[in-house]
């Protein structure tokens, strides 16, 4: 009796140990690269902490200043505007492309690969590529606009705040939409074909099938894609840093850009940390709201 009993115990113990063993590398990584910096950032945000020299505790002073910082407010408003434009564009195009390549028709694989290709280019490289393409006098985009009668070779696309933002959004769409397509495609493929067939047999039109069958079943994927997309846009930095440098006249400075400026231009690491903490809170709240909205309602 006792021998098998002991064996089950040790098996359970072994399983537990194996569990710890398998999760500990991930835990260690998360602790090292997320929790430790996070705690440090929160600690620094409570100090007047210059890049060089003495730091001292100031409590919530940085946060109070941040709430009255007009430059940061302008940056946040711009970031929200950018997110509100980018998210639907990416989503609609991504979904349309996913629907196009969903069925295993001839050529579907090919287009799937073509749409996905820009995703494997680094964001900074893609930004430099587009910066060159839209450079007045030398960029091919100016040539194209000239031939189509939309503009001239000498048009400086980055001189207007709207046109500068549109060029950046164009680049981001080209670069990211393939990833959204891929995510939505896996969602679409996981919908059982029986459900669609049943709807067809009941006489539902293509649009009705999409609206009442596909879209509701796609909900978990939609949540994932939207959270990704919104978080990515709210954290935008590289594309603006490379392509517009925040210009013209500081009209395209994002929240993260402002954090960068506070920390590494003005050398106020403590204040930069406070701005980061605020941004993190907003981001967590926005993501949570999205998850809630897309999870329950009609279930």
Footprint on this chain of another protein (rule: CB under 8 A): 17, 20-21, 24, 28, 31-32, 36, 40, 49-53, 55, 136-137, 154-156, 158-159, 164, 244-250, 253, 257, 261, 264-267
Nearer to another protein, 232 or 247 (CB): 247
Least separation in angstroms between residue 129's CB and another protein is 16
d(CA 205, CA 202): 9
Least distance from another protein to the Cβ atom of residue 215, Å: 42
Taking the least distance from each CB to another protein, the nearer of 97 and 253 is 253
From first CA to last CA, the distance across the chain in angstroms is 50
Q: What does the block give as tokens for 288? A: 């949570």
**Residue nearer to another protein on the CB measure, 27 or 113:** 27
Minimum CB distance to another protein smaller for 38 or for 231: 38
Which residue is associated with the tokens 């459900």? 195
Nearest-approach distance from CB 17 to another protein, in angstroms: 6
Question: What are the φ and ψ backbone dihedral angles of 90, each rounded to 5 degrees?
Answer: -60, -40
Q: In this structure, are residues 239 and 14 in contact, taking their beta carbons and an 8 Å threshold?
A: no
Alpha helices, DSSP H, located in the chain = 2-30, 36-45, 61-67, 70-100, 108-116, 123-133, 140-148, 161-189, 193-201, 206-209, 215-217, 219-234, 238-243, 255-264, 269-295
> Nearest distance from residue 136's CB to another protein, in Å?
6
Q: What are the beta bridge partners of residue 56?
A: 48
Nearest approach in angstroms of CB 143 to another protein is 14
Do the beta carbons of residue 214 and residue 241 sit within 8 Å?
no
Nearer to another protein, 174 or 257 (CB): 257
């Amino acid at each position: 009796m006792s021998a098998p009993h002991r064996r089950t115990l040790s098996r359970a113990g072994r399983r537990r140990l194996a569990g710890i063993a398998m999760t500990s590398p991930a835990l260690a990584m998360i602790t090292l690269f997320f929790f430790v910096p996070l705690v440090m950032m929160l600690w620094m945000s409570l100090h007047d902490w210059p890049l060089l020299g003495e730091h001292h505790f100031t409590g919530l002073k940085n946060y109070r200043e941040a709430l009255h910082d007009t430059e940061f407010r302008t940056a946040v408003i711009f970031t929200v505007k950018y997110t509100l434009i980018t998210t639907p564009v990416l989503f609609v195009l991504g979904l349309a492309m996913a629907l196009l390549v969903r069925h295993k028709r001839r050529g579907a694989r090919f287009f799937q690969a073509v749409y996905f290709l820009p995703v494997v280019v680094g964001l900074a490289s893609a930004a430099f590529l587009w910066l060159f393409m839209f450079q007045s006098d030398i960029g091919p985009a100016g040539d194209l606009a000239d031939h189509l009668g939309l503009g001239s070779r000498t048009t400086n696309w980055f001189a207007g705040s709207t046109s500068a933002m549109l060029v950046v959004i164009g680049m981001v769409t080209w670069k990211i939409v393939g990833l959204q397509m891929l995510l939505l495609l896996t969602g679409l493929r996981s919908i059982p074909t029986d459900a669609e067939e049943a709807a067809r047999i009941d006489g539902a039109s293509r649009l009705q099938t999409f609206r009442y069958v596909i879209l509701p079943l796609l909900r978990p994927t939609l949540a994932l894609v939207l959270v990704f997309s919104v978080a990515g846009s709210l954290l935008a930095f590289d594309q603006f840093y490379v392509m517009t440098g925040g210009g013209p006249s500081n009209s395209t400075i994002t929240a993260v850009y402002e954090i960068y400026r506070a920390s590494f231009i003005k050398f106020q690491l403590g204040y930069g940390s406070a701005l980061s903490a605020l941004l993190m809170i907003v981001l967590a709240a926005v993501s949570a709201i999205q998850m809630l909205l897309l999870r329950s309602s009609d279930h």
